[in-house]
Amino acid sequence: MFDEPSSFLDVKQRLSAARIIRSLLRPDDYVIVVEHDLSVLDYLSDFICVLYGKPAVYGVVTLPSSVREGINIFLDGNIPTENLRFREESLQFRIGEAGEEFMVDKSRGYNYPSMEKTLGGFHLTVEGGTFTDSEIIVMMGENGTGKTTFCKMLAGAEKPDGTRKVPAMNISMKPQKITPRFTGTVRQLFFKKIKAAFLSPQFQTDVYKPLKMDDFIDQEVQNLSGGELQRVAIVLALGIPADIYLIDEPSAYLDSEQRIVAARVIKRFIMHAKKTAFIVEHDFIMATYLADRVIVFDGQPAVNARANAPESLLTGCNKFLKNLDVTFRRDPSSYRPRINKDKSQLDQEQKLAGNYKKRNEKSIPKHNQPPPHDVLTKTGILGALGGGNTGNVRRRLGGLPDEEGESDDDDEDDSYRRQRSTSCDIPL
- pLDDT tens, position by position, 405-422: 333 444 433 333 333 333
Q: Tell me the pLDDT of the chain averaged across its residues.
A: 82
- pLDDT tens, position by position, 1-20: 999 999 889 888 999 999 99
- In whole angstroms, give the CA distance from residue 71 to residue 53: 16
Residue 338: helix, strand or coil by DSSP? strand
What residues are paired with 3 via a beta bridge? 34
Amino acid found at 238: L
CA nearest to 40, candidates 63, 64, 13: 13
Q: How many CA atoms lie within 13 A of 338 on its CB side?
A: 28
Do 288 and 260 form a contact (C-beta atoms < 8 A)? no
For residue 117, what pLDDT band results from cuts at 50, 70 and 90? very high
What separation in angstroms does the CA of 50 have from each of 2, 142, 330?
Answer: 16, 30, 21
- pLDDT tens, position by position, 296-322: 999 999 999 999 999 999 899 999 999
For residue 229, what pLDDT band results from cuts at 50, 70 and 90? very high
For residue 269, what pLDDT band results from cuts at 50, 70 and 90? very high
- pLDDT tens, position by position, 170-228: 899 999 889 899 999 999 999 999 999 999 999 999 999 999 999 999 999 999 999 99
Q: Which residues, other chains included, contact 133 with Cβ-Cβ below 8 Å and sequence gap of 6+? A: 105, 106, 107, 108, 274, 275, 276
pLDDT at 118 over 80: yes
> Residue 228: its pLDDT value, please?
94
Query: What region does 325 belong to: left with phi over 0, alpha with psi -120 to 50, or beta?
Result: left
> Residue 156: its pLDDT value, please?
85
